[in-house]
Structure 1
Amino acid sequence: MTTTSCPARHDWRSIAALAEIVNGDAKKTTLSEHALRHYVRNADTNGLAPYVRKLGRKILISESGFYDWLRGYPEQNLHYL
């Protein structure tokens, strides 16, 4: 049984901000906002839900939680990367 730790308060990012952080200074986009939105829409089935918070229309994702989730996500399901 896995336990998820609670992300720090300063760890929450908007989808656009997280996409910018993930892509950094890369010449080519690694993970688009569209792909992140897809993962958020399916958060209940793909295991990302503990790292997603919805405040009205605003969606926030834990940066550290996202990276933890990404490390544990089955490779065959990363067709957007």
Structure 2
Amino acid sequence: FEPAPQILKNVRYDPAHPITQARVAAVVEDAKALIGARGRLLVRASGTEPVIRVMGEGDDAAVVEQAVDAVCEALRKVG
């Protein structure tokens, strides 16, 4: 087992769920494609706070950070 770089960021939203926006969904799909099969991207709403949690992990820390940052920026623009 070799640990992969992991990045977790939280984005506050108010009041609507930005995850349901088509623009955000498109950016999430692009970010998943960027990370590829050698990693994963998880985007979910917190159950206890008004935040969206964006977690990415993969072999290349720079690529993972780029993907997570792109999703966070899209969430901020619509939220």
- Would the TM-score normalized by the shorter structure come out above 0.5? no
TM-score (norm 1): 0.29
Larger RCO: 1 or 2 (CA < 8 Å, sep 6+)? 2
More strand by share: 2
TM-score under structure 2 normalisation? 0.29
